Amino acid sequence: MARGDNRDKQLSAPTEFAAGNGLLDRRLFLQGGMAIGSAMLLSGTDAAAAGETAIDPRPKWMREPGAEFRPYGFPSLHEDEVVRFASPNRVMRNNGASWTPLHLLEGTITPNGLHFERHHNGVPSLDPEQHRLLIHGLVARPLEFFMSDLLRYPLRSQICFLECGGNSNAGWNRIPSTAEAGYFHGLASCSEWTGVPLATLLHEAQPGEGVRWLIAEGADAFAMHVSIPLEKAMGDAMLALYQNGERLRPENGYPLRLILPGWEGVLNVKWLRRLELSDRPAMARNETARYTELLPSGKARIFSFVMEAKSLITSPSSGMVLRQRPGLYQITGLAWSGRGRIRQVDVSADSGKTWAPAELQEPVLPKSFTRFRIPWRWSGAPAVLKSRAVDETGYVQPERKVLLAERGRHGFYHYNAIVNWAVDEQGSVSHVYDDDDQDLGDHPPVDAGWD
Ligand SMILES: Nc1nc2c(c(=O)[nH]1)N[C@H]1C(S)=C(S)[C@@H](COP(=O)(O)O)O[C@H]1N2
Ligand SMILES: [Mo]
């Protein structure tokens, strides 16, 4: 095990520590000079047995033909735990959400079958041949499109995250959630969307004087409708028909949905059927009674639109165990900001006393999931891991204490505080608060239900 000894000696050199409690320089992985070293070292005889020898070493799957072709692929049967976690409303099963298992995924793109879902009254089974989009209201030329009409326009693709305004809302609770990272923060996913820039169609409809808002309506049994400022509609808004190269999944809005990159999920109307141009917002249920919050001043925060920067260590994270204790680990996670690119992600292994910058995996795209990584040498002692995102506007992801002081105790939406994962001496990882929540005043428990 001479190689392993060497590696340990190298890593204990003090110059390579980037911050307290074992965080190492982010470039160590990139330089290729550091392997985790978890492969089994074969003895000479093992190595011979692995090749062509007297005993047939071939596993059973090499001794019979494999499965046949199939028209549409599924994940390996061995990956059957990589699934969404669904939490329907107790009263109405068609209303609820399902979370993306962020802690079980890698890279930055969410597979279509694992994109989170949020429906207020189920997934409509609508006929794409009959479905139409109407653009009307304060316009010179009201227009109606079949899906085949929309598909004739020049299409454009854009990678961006989609996040429900209610994502991570368990963070408002006094008791730390015990859910896995994805089942706590996974009302967020990231896809490549392809469709028609909304501005193209709005120009054709010729908006009248005084148009300031667009009221968008979905063709589901909830008839979701929300209001969108004209500037966003004329900016990077898109009418998406495709998701990661294939037509939208029914649960994500087939055959047509609105995509407003970086803006809260509820505005991204699925099964889109109507866009009404108006001089005022609709003041609909989901922009007044919901997706707003009462502040300590007694005023309500409404039309918050942009999802502020957030980051989250996905591994190691809540519910995992560091098996090779103590030793060298890769800390990895995701960061995103509705305002643009992620500029930096700092990681701490000592509960925020010291921080080191993580490596950001290229390409770092605006309003998209950004993967970060940093090597960590765990000593075997208890540790608290944190990540903190900074976006290109200079906005810094707040500590929970700061967010609570700003928003008060009536929060339910727009929770983006720094997350703490505690590692105990056994290597078990759990979610903790480090802000002594008892001192932050009394508050009613957050109702985890959806309505
Ligand atoms: N028509 C319609 N659009 C909708 C919703 C809905 O219930 N009906 N839910 C909204 C909410 S609250 C969110 S967070 C996103 C979720 O999109 P997804 O299910 O594709 O992840 O869709 C939005 N668009
Ligand atoms: Mo949402």
Distance 234 CA to ligand 1 centre (A): 21
From CA 222, how far away is CA 219, in angstroms rounded? 8
Distance 112 CA to ligand 1 centre (A): 15
State the closest ligand 1 atom to the C-alpha of 218, by its place in the atom list counted from 1.
1
Indicate if ligand 1 lies below 6 Å from the C-beta of 220: yes
Instruction: Give the ligand with the smallest distance to the CA of 116.
Output: 1
Distance 190 CA to ligand 2 centre (A): 15
Class of domain 310-440: mainly beta
Share of the chain above pLDDT 70, in %: 88
Least confident of 35-39, 74-78, 231-235, 429-433: 35-39
Reported as a single tens digit per residue, the pLDDT across 52-102 is: 455 668 899 999 999 999 999 999 999 999 999 998 887 788 899 999 999
According to the model, what pLDDT value does residue 282 have?
92
Indicate if ligand 1 lies below 6 Å from the C-beta of 267: no
Indicate if ligand 1 lies below 6 Å from the C-beta of 228: no
Average pLDDT over residues 351-359: 97
According to the model, what pLDDT value does residue 7 have?
42
Class of domain 112-301: alpha beta
Ion ligand 2: residues, Cβ under 5 Å: 118, 164, 265-266
Indicate if ligand 1 lies below 6 Å from the C-beta of 269: yes
Are 168 and 310 in contact by the 8 Å Cβ rule? The answer is yes
Distance 103 CA to ligand 1 centre (A): 22
- Give this prediction's pTM: 0.92
Whether 2 has a pLDDT exceeding 60, the answer reads no
Task: Give, for ligand 1, the residue of 118, 220, 267, 451 to mutate: max count of ligand atoms closer than 8 Å to Cβ.
Answer: 118
According to the model, what pLDDT value does residue 54 have?
55
Whether 35 has a pLDDT exceeding 70, the answer reads no
Domain ranges of the chain: 112-301, 310-440
Indicate if ligand 1 lies below 6 Å from the C-beta of 115: yes
Q: Is the dihedral of CA 268, 274, 277, 282 positive or negative?
A: negative
From CA 62, how far away is CA 168, in angstroms rounded? 46
Reported as a single tens digit per residue, the pLDDT across 264-301 is: 999 999 999 999 999 999 999 889 888 888 888 888 88
According to the model, what pLDDT value does residue 88 have?
81
Distance 401 CA to ligand 1 centre (A): 30
